Structure 1
Amino acid sequence: MNAYATPLTSAAARCPHPLLDNILDHLSLKNDAALAKALNIAPPRISKIRRGRMEVSAALLLRLHEVANIPVAELRRMVQDAQQMEPKPSN
């Protein structure tokens, strides 16, 4: 978590997502709104991804690669880590 986040107010603390958290740290951004601005996407999209309501698209992975200069393979690994953390729905 970056230096600006606090345990009580950070969206990352309430709903961790390895990909988003790593990108925030890598780009030294304060919050998800700053990340959305850096990626030139709507902030609700970040929120939906963080909460598991939206998948990380291939286009977003490429945008993350362009902005953060992180290899796509590493970004894909972070997405897989996030998917493993999601709770499985019970039947």
Structure 2
Amino acid sequence: METQSQKYTVAYMLDVVLQKHNLKNDAALCRAIEITPPTISKIRNGVQPLGFMLLVKLHEFTGMSTKEIKTLAGIASE
């Protein structure tokens, strides 16, 4: 059985964004939000944290609240 902490990760959040916006892969998302593919790869793989600027870009692109994005990413709201 999957726990909430296992399900809600940055990779999960990115997958939700890809699916909701019918994007084929991370490269398509990078083009849509104007960031470099290595950046999204580092974030997806936990090498780099989900920063404020990417959070804002995802909010603007998806229309999702920053709170919803952070929840899907498993990041506790402060």
Q: TM-score range by the shorter chain?
A: 0.7 to 0.9
How many residue pairs match? The answer is 66
Q: Distance in 1 between the 2:20 and 2:50 partners?
A: 18
Q: Which residue of the other structure, out of 1, 4, 20, is the alignment partner of 1:26?
A: 20
Identity value in percent? 39
Task: Look up the match of 1:36.
Answer: 30
- The one-letter code sitting in structure 2 at the alignment partner of 1:68 is T
Q: Which residue of the other structure, out of 8, 11, 18, is the alignment partner of 1:17?
A: 11
Consecutive aligned runs of 4 or more in structure 1 exceeding 2 Å deviation: none
Q: Which residue of the other structure, out of 40, 63, 68, is the alignment partner of 1:69?
A: 63
SS at match of 1:45: helix
Q: Distance in 1 between the 2:48 and 2:72 partners?
A: 15
Q: Which residue of the other structure, out of 41, 51, 56, is the alignment partner of 2:45?
A: 51
Q: Distance in 2 between the 1:53 and 1:41 partners?
A: 16
- The one-letter code sitting in structure 2 at the alignment partner of 1:55 is P
Q: Which runs of 5+ in 2 are unaligned?
A: 1-9
- The one-letter code sitting in structure 2 at the alignment partner of 1:29 is L
C-alpha RMSD of matched pairs (Å)? 1.4
Q: Distance in 1 between the 2:62 and 2:52 partners?
A: 15
TM (norm. structure 1) is 0.68
Whichever of the two has the greater Rg, that structure is: 1
Higher mean alpha-carbon deviation, 24-33 vs 72-81, is at 72-81
Q: Which has the higher contact order (CA 8 A, sep 6+)?
A: 2
